[in-house]
Structure 1
Amino acid sequence: MTTTSKRKPFQERLDSFVQKLREQIMDGIYPPGSFLPPEMKLAELYQLSNKSVRKGLDTLVDEGLIVKINRVGNKVTGTGSKERIVLTLGCSPSIERDFALQQLLADFHAQFPTIQVKTIPISSGHPTVGNHNISTFKNFLENGIVDVLSLNPMYFGEFVENNCLELLEPVEQQPDIYPFLQKPFSYEDKLYVQPVVFSPMVLCYNKEHFRKMELPEPDSSWSWSDVVQSAEKLAIPGQRHGLYFHLLSENRWPLFMLQSGMTFQPAGEGETCELAGTKLLDNIKQVKQLVNNRTIFPGYLIESNDDVNQLFVEDRVSIIISSYLNLNEFKHTNIQFDVAPLPYTDYPATLLIIVGLAINANSPNKHAANLLLRYFATRRAQQKIREYTLSIPAYKPIAEQTGQDSKSLNRPSHYAMFREHLRSARVQRDLGLTDVHFYALRSLLKKYWSDMIDEDTLCKEARQQLKGYVLK
């Protein structure tokens, strides 16, 4: 046996020892001010020598997690004994709502008083301008403006497409985080973004409206035709519309494309992208019928999902396409609402939203940044997300727990419904388009749905602007 092979089992035990204690400290099993078990006890428990235990504990000292008190023991720090590190977290404005960020950061600061986290907002670029998002992210990362950055799969894909992954620090995969959430943030078997929360797109509906109209509530058997029929009965002219959603949101229009079951694939020389006669075009036309039906769909000039949420709160619309993240807008209201799977016509697919955190590879505080990411993936932090929000935690045991939810939130009775539809969840990248072509398709569809171009022109321009792809 070689020297290297002899060392490997020892190193694995030592790394496991350090990681286990680190997680127990971050989970609050050893809170600030408490003491770790005696070193002899730790050596026995983890099958290490006293010297190895001391070496592992030195790592935790360097991280600021514990302090060694001579002749007393190893105390979990809560005194701010080391020099304070300031981390900058760049995130979208909705993160405060989706994560209950202030509560989590307060808890993190209590556990790690030597690390202070400040947040700055990051707004993505205009969606019709290719590569604008990656330019914004590169500026924040290369100039050291942020140590940690919130990303979704769409934005992570831009890092891959633009060969910018060297700006992100690979992170360790966590065993209790849903594996399917880590895949969209991985490249060549390396994870670059730690998932924190997620949600499939769902129907959200006003239960009272359905009850008053004596209509059955939506379920997994519904098609879009069923939605239209119910929405027409729910609509009250001049007072309420049956259905509404922000069509041009990157989390709305792609789901109709995904429900066609078709994807864009690289084409050979001489091949063109032909929409005519495809299920994808059928779905595109179906969307147009939905949004142009003034009986059920308002002609309101919408600016964001916030407008949809406001109309729902005001009782002016009965059914919306939403996410668990957007449901946080209703968590402190008295609205009687619930959720159901998205309807479909041919292919049962829903769009998956994932929000995670990435570390700036150029950050001078990478170690502290890694502690922050580890914290967000702990049972403790994920339990707080479940307690304070309607977002779905990425930590599987917490997401799927039952009977332990806070009674102070207006949580839908079918909250756990998401578990039954994870197999049908897709991300925008599953369409097979690059960022530039994704927004080129969006621009074309916007013109078609607004009656600025007809069907023949849509198909013609798709052949021109989506060169290099075929539909299958």
Structure 2
Amino acid sequence: MPRPNRSEYMARTQQLIAYIREEIRSGSRKEGDYLPSEVELGGIFSLSKESVRKALDVLVEEGLIVKIRRVGNKVRLSAPSTGSPEAECLPTSTGPEEGMVLRLACYPPLIREGRLQHAVSEYERQHPGTTIELLPAPFPLDYAGLGLADVVTVTGWDALKQKEKDASLSLLSEAPETEYAHPLLAKPYLEEGGGLKAAPFVFSPVVLCYNRKHFEQCRMEAPHAGWTWYTLLKTARTLHRKLEVRGFAAHIQSVNRWPVFLLQNSFRFQHGEGQRAAEDPAFWDSLRISRDLIHQQGGPVLWTESDEDVERWFKEGKAAMILTTYFGLNRFLDTELDYGVAPLPALRSDDTLLLTTGLAVNRLTPHQEEARKLVRYLCSAEVQADVRRHTLTLPAHREALSLKNGLAGNRPQGESVYRELWDRCRLYSDLNLSTGVLEAVREELKAYWSRLEDEAEASERLEALLS
């Protein structure tokens, strides 16, 4: 697996802190109880010993635990003064006189990209006595499973993973009825019986983003719907030669990027039909262009840890074209960059990958109606219009999505290209392969992308995964 970045470590640390707080608040761990060892906690939350210690230091400062040298970490519920951090973490009544606390576990970027902090603050203003606690987490569904969240954000990828373990998505309640722009936004959250388990919140297709100034300097035609990947490759070489910039950059190994080439070549994994997927010409035709994009532009090969690397290079003017999403475009909203977006270049088709995020209610929350009310609010025209006006994130609500006036920030030329893409949008499930195998295939392909293996060599190792 790729090494987690700093933001993921921070999110996991917050997850550990929230988990122990909740155990103490609920009474699962009583005064005098010892926590699991630092090694055990590190294993559970995929953290280093040093990160676990930093998390425990926070709980010590809050007065919830005490560290006993050579023994361990013990719960300490000393009587706190009113308003202290310890008071907030003790088991509390949820009677109406004390108000309602709802916990929303969300992917960290959504606090900014989905305006969640602003939205929950406004909700609290409109509903005195109700407090919404945002819990940033890389895997919000885990919070639902641990009983730590009433509402969670769910990507289409995570929903597919969960359905592979539990086709009925029994961890989640039926989603409240909300309005959304297209049936595809709901499809990732349909359980096997057809019930909807998450309300569509925001979305984005994968698109091509380009620096308009670079194209003007070279007197070249800007990307458009008629391009193929070979057009892009030829253009990237010219841009590199004339401007000494990277003509095209992408975090190819991301599961949000390389499957695009399979989808565009109409490749689908077949099971039990005698077809050896790793020897299918359509499979390698799809991947060959992705490798060419890495090695055949001229200049050094760029290796990336995340999409953020690519978006940073583009922001700095070091790359002329990138693969990105409307989520990623938010990094350019406060800049003076002259940029545009276009549909993806084509192979056999010009399909793209649709990325979705929904809001779901934990089936085990004791606050079912209150949680559903919060989801309806976050998916309402009012909140979704705020997302549309102040970010480049695409809201799921049809009315909010259609807004054209009062849009803040530096927006790209061709921003509305998403309207043309509904018929071209595809989902991970269209590949007919489990998420685990897709991730394993990605790991095996790194040697191929690096030119350490040819197609025949890579095919031998992939066949074991795909057979």
What TM-score results when the alignment is normalised by the length of structure 1?
0.75
Where 1:191 maps in the other structure, the secondary structure is: coil
What aligned pairs does 1:254-265 form with structure 2 within 5 A after superposition? 254-265=259-270
Change (3 A) 1:405 1:412: farther
Amino acid at match of 2:425: A
Match of 2:401 among 388, 399, 402: 399
The residue aligned with 2:234 is 229
Residues 53-106 of structure 1: CA distance to partner in whole angstroms, max 9, x if unpaired? xxxxxxxxxxxxxxxxxxxxxxxxxxx985421111111111122202222122
- Residue 209 of structure 1 pairs with residue 214 of structure 2: yes
2:291 to 283, 288, 293: 288
- For 1:466, the aligned partner's letter is L
Matches of 2:180 and 2:154, distance apart in 1: 20
Query: d(CA) in 2 for partners of 1:238 and 1:377?
Result: 45
Query: Using the alignment, how far apart are the partners of 1:396 and 1:82 within structure 2?
Result: 38
CA distance in 2, matches of 1:450, 1:437: 20
1:194 is matched with 199
CA–CA distance in structure 1, aligned partners of residues 251 and 406 of structure 2: 30
User: How far has the Cα of 1:393 moved from its partner?
Assistant: 0.9
Match of 1:144 among 147, 153, 156: 147
For residues 416 and 182 of structure 1, the distance between their equivalents in structure 2, rounded to whole angstroms, comes to 21
Structure 1 residue 413: deviation in Å?
2.6
Alignment check: 8 A CA contact 1:169 1:361 kept:
yes
Partner of 2:346, secondary structure, is coil
2:188 to 184, 188, 191: 184
Q: Write out per-residue CA displacement over residues 403-439 of structure 1, whole angstroms, 9 at most, x where no aligned residue.
A: x132x31111311111111111011121010122111
Determine which of 142, 158, 179 is the counterpart of 1:155. Answer: 158
TM-aligned CA distance change 1:95 to 1:210, over 3 Å: same
Identity of aligned residues (%): 30
1:274 positional shift = 3.2
SS of alignment partner, residue 459 of structure 1:
helix
Contact 2:201–2:357 (Cα < 8 Å) also in 1:
yes
Aligned partners of 1:243, 1:176: CA distance in 2, in Å?
34
Instruction: Say whether the 8 Å CA contact 2:294–2:302 is kept in structure 1.
Output: no
1:86 to 98, 101, 117: 101
CA–CA distance in structure 2, aligned partners of residues 113 and 413 of structure 1: 42
Distance 1:167 1:266 in 2: 29
Contact kept? 1:115, 1:368, Cα under 8 Å: no
Alignment RMSD, CA only?
Answer: 2.0
**Bigger RCO of structures 1 and 2 (CA < 8 A, at least 6 apart):** 1
Cα deviation digits, residues 364-417 of structure 1 (max 9, x gap):
222221111101111101110111111111011221233x132x3111131111
Q: Write the distance in 2 (CA, Å) between the matches of 1:172 and 1:100.
A: 21
Counterpart in the other structure of 2:420? 420
Structure-2 separation of matches of 1:400 and 1:81: 39
1:195–1:427 Cα change, 3 Å: same
Within the alignment, does 1:173 sit opposite 2:177 as a pair?
yes
| Number of aligned residues | 371
**CA separation of 1:375/1:285 partners in 2, compared to 1, >3 Å: closer, same or farther?**
same
Q: Distance in 2 between matches of 1:454 and 1:312?
A: 31
Separation in 2, partners of 1:81, 1:169: 24
Give the unaligned 5+ runs of structure 1.
1-79, 125-135, 468-472
Taking a change above 3 Å as real, the CA distance of residues 237 and 222 of structure 1, as seen in their structure-2 partners, is closer
Alpha-carbon deviations, 1:138-188, whole Å to 9, x = none?
4x2232111111111111012211017211111133244422201111122
CA contact (8 A) 1:386 1:405 kept: no
Does the aligned pair in 2 maintain the 1:199–1:352 contact within 8 Å?
yes
Residues in 1 aligned to 2:340 and 2:231: alpha-carbon distance in whole angstroms: 17
1:112 to 116, 127, 132: 127
CA distance in 2, matches of 1:192, 1:230: 44
Structure whose alpha-carbon radius of gyration is higher: 1
Comparing both structures, which one devotes a greater share of its residues to strand?
A: 1
The AA in structure 1 aligned to 2:353 is L
Q: Which runs of structure 2 are paired with 1:16-415 in the superposition (5 Å)? A: 83-124=98-139, 137-138=141-142, 140-163=143-166, 165-187=169-191, 188-236=193-241, 239-268=244-273, 271-295=274-298, 298-402=300-404, 404-406=405-407, 408-415=408-415
CA contact (8 A) 2:200 2:357 kept: yes
> C-alpha distance in 1, partners of 2:297/2:224?
24
Q: Per-residue displacement from partner, 1:116-148 (whole Å, max 9, x unpaired)?
A: 111122224xxxxxxxxxxx834x223211111
Tell me how far apart the structure 1 counterparts of residues 180 and 280 of structure 2 sit (CA, whole Å).
44
**Structure 1 contact 237–295 (Cα < 8 Å) conserved:** no
Alignment partner, residue 77 of structure 2: none
- One-letter amino acid of the structure 2 residue matched with residue 379 of structure 1: A
Counterparts in 2 of 1:176 and 1:142: CA distance versus 1, 3 Å: closer
